[in-house]
Amino acid sequence: MHLKIHHRTEYRYESPVHYSIQELRLTPPDVAGQKTSKWKLHTPMKSTQSSDPFENRCHVFVQEAPYTSMVIEAEGEVDTVDAFELGDSSHAVSPFYLLQQTPLTEPSDAMLDYFSGVMPKLNQIDAILQLATAVQDAIPYSPGKTHFATTAAQSFAMGAGVCQDHSHIMLGLCRAANIPARYVSGYFFAEESPNLASHAWIDFCLDINKGKWISVDITHACLIDSRHVRLAVGRDYYSAAPIKGVRSGGGTESLSASISIHQLS
């Protein structure tokens, strides 16, 4: 597919923000299955570019003058093909680091007990897909019931969640089974489901020695394909978030975001 993407995020504040730092992971990398042909970021201030330990493309900008609203836009075109296996360079984070739980992924005893019958014994594709199906069955896709700080254990207890929650639950279970796994933030092209445009899935390590990773969409219980566009990877949502920052002042914050994805060819 040749996809055109436009992602606009607007923040508004009840009182002036005096100082802020924003960190963006909004630039798709060129990896197996995708190649970015055009991409632009529009930020209120000039940003500096770098790579984080996961080799995500990061942009950071600082605002020191007071403001009450802020708009961040990313737009461009990405070519995709079906590809679910990735390799890592020697500089990427060790898979062993991705055996560690985080507060967002830590499984509860109830989770481990519920999924005990389908916990993978080996890091094999069929076993991971079987577990993904079990997560999908247990946690129906339910927009609006969870938020960015909802943990895997909380989502499981509610029996509801979205792609972020599905991914956190899956990460917790994979790591509990001694299988390295990482969170992936990105986009998903589905004309019939525009609410899925902002999406999340996981990579699990198929071969630690060779650094081979397999990408699995937990919400759809399938391997990723040409509908998926990867933005960043991390231990959980927070370390792979498209936008995150800190601020001084501003009071209550309101956020509106829109993502459009069109297939050009």
CATH topology of domain 85-240: C8orf32 fold (3.10.620)
Quote the pTM value.
0.94
Helix 125-138 and helix 163-176: axis angle, to 10°?
130
Phi and psi for 73 in degrees, rounded to 5?
-130, 145
Domain spans of the chain? 2-78+243-263, 85-240
**Per-chain mean pLDDT for the chain:** 94
Quick check: 89 pLDDT over 60?
A: no
Buried b (16+ CB within 10 A) or exposed e, 184-193: bbbbbbeeee
Q: DSSP alpha helices (H): ranges in 27-87?
A: none
- From CA 98, how far away is CA 103, in angstroms rounded? 13
Tokens of 38: 């055009």
Q: Identify the pLDDT of residue 91.
A: 58
Tokens of 39: 């991409």
Q: Give CATH for domain 2-78+243-263.
A: 2.60.40.2250
Give the Cα-Cα-Cα angle 169, 172, 176 (nearest 5 degrees): 140
Q: Residue 130 CB: number of other CB atoms within 10 A?
A: 14
Query: Tens of pLDDT along 43-66?
Result: 999 999 999 999 999 999 999 999
